[in-house]
Each structure stands twice: as C-alpha cells, then as structure tokens.
Structure 1
Amino acid sequence: MQEDDLEWIAGQDRQLYPFPWAAVNFADSMSAGYGCWTMFDGTERVGYAVLMMVLDEVHILNISVVLAHQGRGLGRRLLDHLAVVAKAAGARQMFLEVRPSNMPALALYQRAGFETIGRRKGYYPAADGREDALVMRWPL
C-alpha cells in the first residue's frame, strides 16, 4: 500500500461498508508499521488489506475486495497472501473480527480454516444501534 492509494482505498471502503475507514485510518496503519497491501489484477487495483503483527500472532484489521471484482476468488488469494506473510514473520495463528451479518466473509473465512472462538457484544456500529462481532482464529 502506498500513500497514493489511500484516497482510492477510502473511496472503496465507503462503497463496501456502512461505517468505513477513512484515508487517515489507513495512513495511521502504515505509520504504525502494520502490514498494508493493495492488491492488483494487472494494473487495476482490486483489493486491500491491513495486518497487525504482534509476537507470534497476527490480526487482520481490514481485508476487502472491491465490489466489481468480488466472487472471483480474489478474497481467498488476498487471505492466502496474508497467511504467507504471517508465517514468514513467525506467526502461529491469525485472528479477525467479522459481522455475523457478513455472510460472504464468514463463508470465506470458514472455507480457509478459521474457527469462531468468541463474540464481542456490540462491537460494530450498525444502522439500528450496534452489531456483535464474531472473533475467529486460524491456526497457521
């Protein structure tokens, strides 16, 4: 991920999520030293991810494929890339939170080998108040 990508990424996040990250959130992630990637298909940007590495664990903070390119297996490719990076950094497990209402993401994570290990009550803002988050873990 480069600074030149940030406005594009924030624009995509606004199209994907009702409560998106702003460009400054991605910039802060880069400044903090988190792993930040923009995914390309040829010369076209098609996705992005932010990964926080802590000791022998990694936490996916954001993983997204733009609407026009969903359903092509790119999310799995991006997830697999994060796993390779995590393993190379010595990670033994990967964590993430996901909305229970995000069925496509849940299906992707379950197919990859993530298991639900907990629930964070009222974690996400939602149109009608708050939505829980499922906490998922993938042993690497």
Structure 2
Amino acid sequence: MSVTLRGLTDDDLDDLVAMEQELFGPGAWSRQSLAEEIVGPGRWYVGAESEGALIGYAGLWFDGDDAQVMTVGTRPEAQGRGVGRLLLDALLDRARELRAGAMFLEVRVDNDPALALYRRAGFEQIGLRKRYYQPENVDAWTMRKDLT
C-alpha cells in the first residue's frame, strides 16, 4: 500500500468526522471541535492518504516547550500496515523541528495496539489518569518521550 502524508484542511472534515465516529464512537470529537482543532494555535495536523482516500490522521499541540500527541487514528482496514507509525513519526519529526524538549500523550489503558505503537517508538509510561476518557470513564496511561 502506497501512503502519502499531507496537511489537513477544512475539505477533510467529512472524512475526519466519519473516522472519529468509526474509531471512537461516543467519545468522538464533533465536527465543530475537529474544525477548530485542525487550525488551532500551536496545532499541527497531518493526514495519511492512499489511492486518493484519507486512511489516517494525526495531530500535535506545541506549547513552546513540549509537544503533545493530540490523536493518531487509522481506519480499521489500514491498521497493522504501518500507517500509525508513519503518522507518529511525522509528529515526532515536527516536534523536533519545533525544538520541543519532550513529547507527551495519553492513551486508554485498554488500547493494546496504540500502547504497543508508542512503546516501540520509545515512549515511557509516567502516570495513570483515572476515568480520563469520557463517557466510558476508562483510565489512561500518560506517556513521555524525551526529544533532546
């Protein structure tokens, strides 16, 4: 599968909303939240495209010191094919370009594929947030990767 990365725009909102619903169900961001997020201050969002279709997306937030992974999502049919890692690597590259000292993220404790992806990329668990994910009240691992 050939995958290219590109910046996300308002033209991608229909696809983003559909992917959010597919991946996160009741916890999915609304169209309005996504529209604000992809152009928000300190935000950088990238999409993964294959054969003209958006198959994944990822975003980061940079506060001037550290970066935070906002999301990495891949359509189910593209999972396990390296798309998530390609997106995560793009976020890490961008954080390094911005001279971020570290990258942080939060991931559901029961999301084994995402946890494996982040561990392979060198992220370490640093804490546990109780009932972080709403409305399911699922705990989340807080993870960190040093970029210096």
TM range (shorter): over 0.9
- Give the deviation of 1:126 after TM superposition: 4.6
Which structure 1 segments of 5+ residues have no match? none
Unmatched 5+ residue regions in structure 2?
A: 1-7
The DSSP-based 3-state class of the residue aligned with 1:81 is: helix
Q: 1:9 Cα shift?
A: 0.6
- Equivalent runs, 1:35-46 vs 2, <5 Å: 35-46=44-55
- Are 1:50 and 2:68 counterparts? no
Cα separation, 1, equivalents of 2:82 and 2:45: 20
- RMSD over aligned Cα atoms: 1.2
**2-structure distance, mates of 1:89, 1:104:** 28
Deviation per CA, 1:59-105: give whole Å up to 9, x if none.
11111011110010110111001111110011121000000010000
Q: Distance in 1 between matches of 2:38 and 2:15?
A: 15
- String of CA shifts for 1:110-130, please: whole Å, max 9, x gaps: 011000001111111254xx1
Pick from 124, 139, 143 the counterpart of residue 136 of structure 1: 143
Determine the C-alpha separation between the residues in 1 that align with 2:50 and 2:67. Answer: 25
Separation in structure 1 between the aligned mates of residue 85 and residue 71 of structure 2, nearest angstrom: 14
1:60 maps to 2:76: no
- Partner amino acid, structure 2, of 1:98: V
Tell me which residue corresponds to 2:121.
112
1:92 maps to which residue? 101
2:111 aligned residue = 102
Q: How many residues align?
A: 138
Q: 2:33 maps to which residue?
A: 25
Q: Assess if the C-alpha contact under 8 Å between 2:124 and 2:145 holds in 1.
A: yes
**Shift in Å, 1:30:** 2.6
**TM-score (ref. length: structure 1):** 0.93
| Cα separation, partners in 2 of 1:42 and 1:89, compared to 1, 3 Å | farther
Select 1:6's aligned residue among 3, 8, 13: 13
Indicate if the aligned counterparts of 2:46 and 2:87 stay in contact, CA closer than 8 A: no
Q: How far 1:41 moved relative to its partner?
A: 2.3
1:30 partner amino acid: I
Partners of 1:107 and 1:30 lie apart in 2 by: 26
Q: Deviation at 1:42?
A: 4.3
Percent of pairs identical after alignment? 38
Q: TM-score, normalised by structure 2?
A: 0.88
SS at match of 1:106: helix
